[in-house]
Structure 1
Amino acid sequence: MAKKKNASKNKSNPNSKGTSSKEVKQQANQPVKAESKKYNFLIRTIWTFVMIAGFFATLASGHIYCILLITLCQVFAFKEIIAVTGASGSEKNLPLTKTLNWYFLVTILYYLDGKTLFIFFHDFLFDHPLLSSIVSHHKIICYFMYLLGIVFFVCTLRKGFLKFQFGSFCITHVVLLLIVFQAHLIIKNVISGLFWFLVPCGLVIINDIFAYLCGITFGRTRLIEISPKKTLEGFVGAWFFTAIGSIILTRLLLPFDYLKCPVQDINTNFFSNLTCDLNPVFLAQQYKLPPMVFDAFGLSIVTIRPIYFHVLNLATFASLFAPFGGFFASGLKRTFKVKDFGDSIPGHGGITDRIDCQFIMGSFTNLYFETFISENRITVETVISTILMNFDDKQILELMTSLATLLFKKGSIKENSFKKLTKLLTEVNK
């Protein structure tokens, strides 16, 4: 009887052999967690290749599609950060809070990027008097659009919610500064040439990959408290490999004029036969070496393209400063206790999680380009666009008369042609 009782106890009590119920649950959950990790890894890998393929397809499609991609990224990033950093206005019976956020976004987008893109569509815009007038008065229209947003904001203020409403207003404008303004500078990089868009993006990705690889290989010293997995060894090692990667990436891209030429026709794509007078940084130049090098190696002159020196500077920034855009985003997520900014990309989180370093890298690239590389070229297209956006019809005719007179005095126009042209312009001006 005693044996039977003990046997029945052993059957009814699974813990009789020293295995607790907690350990049984853990053992049961281990296969589930393993399967979940495999699934997440598979999804993450698939979407990584989807993003890579989509990025290069966008590059090949042309400048306008790259600009559209940047615009979509900044809109999604704005949406994700606003959603993370503030409670929903609708939950506080303040439905216009979200509407005002989007209104300010549209206003700033139109102000920053509108006039930049007008130059590519001036033929269409100035065929319609209303559109032409809108373009000519771009700044004053944007000013009143923003002012209207301020008026709506003040009208929606409610007692008891003032702290939340002004907090939301401040957050919106900080995000506009950090996201939209920097994205505007990246769009300017695209217009200056896709090389200045692709290389910074590539350098950030290379740095991120090698920071991870160097960190898990020989990382020992924590770099920053807010990101415990980031190590000093990974940070420095990534700098070294990013510098090498910048040289290799530049060498691979140099044969393609499509990437090096500034945009002239918004409809240009990879298969267009795009040619231009290249910026001197892409052309080989001779550099005289110091006597010390000549004595050691017998070399007095070396021929190299200056672009290699410039991309090394960009690689240094991508390694030492751009990662702090990611650290800033990590701190923001920890502040509001969220793992990711969203779930827009399966396996990767939100758009902001993938491009948090790209904004600061893109804005620096634009500043660097304008400071050290840009030739500030004035083309016929830019002059015509400037005239159309700032002069009325009478002023344009006066300009044409002045130009005709100047060309006649220089001898470029014969007297008979000058008289006919002057007569025609005078009649039109009447």
Structure 2
Amino acid sequence: KMPNSLQRPPPAILMLLLTYILVSKTGATGIIGLVLLLQVGMYNETTSIIEEYHYTINAEPRVSKLGEVVEKWWWFLTVLSGTSVKNILLGDTILKDLMVSEKLLDLITYGMGAVGLLVAVVGMASHVSAGPDMFRNYLGKVAASHFALLFLIGQSSFWIKTVQEYGILWIIYPALLVIINDTMAYVFGVLLGNHKLLPRLSPKKTVEGFVGAAFSTFAASIPLLKAMGGADLSNLKQHAVAMAVFTSIVAPFGGFLASAVKRAHGAKDFGTLIPGHGGVVDRFDCQIVTAPFVYLYLQQFL
């Protein structure tokens, strides 16, 4: 079997190449489409390991297999309508001219949520195994799924707002900083790692890897922003350092949270889509945490 260190680079390089081609050919529209695909993939992966844990490992009774599938994707569409879809509709000039009302979109989202609530409660109460244990198991699964919606869909929807209001640079630049940080954490961890950072969550992550990656991210932040066309920005160093601080110190904890979710549900990875990396969530856990920060920072300082 090929070592993980040799499995990881080819898929990562291929993803970067495909992303470059997509962005160069389609611009912001391609990024928005990619975000929507990522949201579907991440939500499906996360809910799948939750279901695997509850229904396969623990053999818990299901309220209704078909009903739970419909419910799962109904909640996904509900949250999507209030976040990503809303951002797309309100951020597009043509769609704005069609008089798409933000209040109407909010009302639709609330209505979808109300329908989901009614169906979920009635379905749970009418199940033949209705009782405290079944309620507890069902609500635990629902809570985990809703947390996935908040963490994955809620945060990643900021990518759409960012590319619409501030341009592609502020999608690609922070993403590259996260990639640099993640790569150098792995390199320093392999070469110098002796002290575990949070071993109960992620046994392979080390203090040396974390610190080495932070220094590497800081070192790359300013020249990378200049190289990507940010030389004309006022306060370039401030912007670069702010992004480096967040992507090297805060963003990695998105990975630790993802590790906690996997461990809680007895999963090694979120999926197998990307050889050597796992699933979509395994690759984008730190990126997701960065998305709202970038948008809120740009709102305040750019």
Paired residue secondary structure (2:117): helix
Contact 1:283 1:306 in 2 (8 A): no
Work out which structure has the larger RCO, using CA pairs closer than 8 Å and 6 or more positions apart in sequence. 2
Shift of 1:119: 4.0
Q: Which residue of 1 aligns with 2:247?
A: 318
Distance 1:134 1:322 in 2: 34
Question: How many matched pairs?
Answer: 287
Shift of 1:327: 0.9
Q: Which residue of 2 aligns with 1:251?
A: 226
Q: Which runs of 5+ in 1 are unaligned?
A: 1-35, 256-281, 285-304, 374-430
Q: Which residue of 1 aligns with 2:64?
A: 94
Give the percent of matched residue pairs that are identical in Structure 1 and Structure 2. 32
Instruction: Give structure 1 regions of 4+ aligned residues with deviation exceeding 6 angstroms.
Output: 133-136
RMSD value, Cα? 2.4
Q: Which residue of 2 aligns with 1:56?
A: 20
> Which of 330, 342, 345 is equivalent to 2:271?
342
Distance 2:93 2:159 in 1: 22
1:7-406 aligned at under 5 Å gives the runs 36-37=1-2, 44-60=8-24, 61-86=26-51, 87-88=54-55, 92=62, 94-95=64-65, 96-119=67-90, 121=92, 123=94, 137-157=104-124, 158=127, 159-160=130-131, 161-191=134-164, 192-225=166-199, 226-254=201-229, 283=232, 305-373=234-302
Deviation digits for residues 36-57 of structure 1, max 9, x if unmatched? Answer: 226x766644322221111111
Q: Which runs of 5+ in 2 are unaligned?
A: none
Question: Which amino acid is 2:175 matched to?
Answer: C
Distance 1:137 1:178 in 2: 25
Distance 1:240 1:66 in 2: 29
Distance 1:57 1:120 in 2: 24
Contact 2:90 2:102 in 1 (8 A): no
Shift of 1:333: 1.4
Shift of 1:109: 0.7
Shift of 1:217: 2.1
Paired residue secondary structure (2:204): strand
Deviation digits for residues 366-386 of structure 1, max 9, x if unmatched? Answer: 12112222xxxxxxxxxxxxx
Q: Which residue of 2 aligns with 1:382?
A: none
- The structure having more radius of gyration, on CA atoms, is 1
Contact 1:333 1:340 in 2 (8 A): yes
Contact 1:112 1:184 in 2 (8 A): yes
TM-score (norm 1): 0.62
Question: Which amino acid is 1:69 matched to?
Answer: L
Distance 1:346 1:219, change over 3 A: closer
Question: Which amino acid is 1:249 matched to?
Answer: L
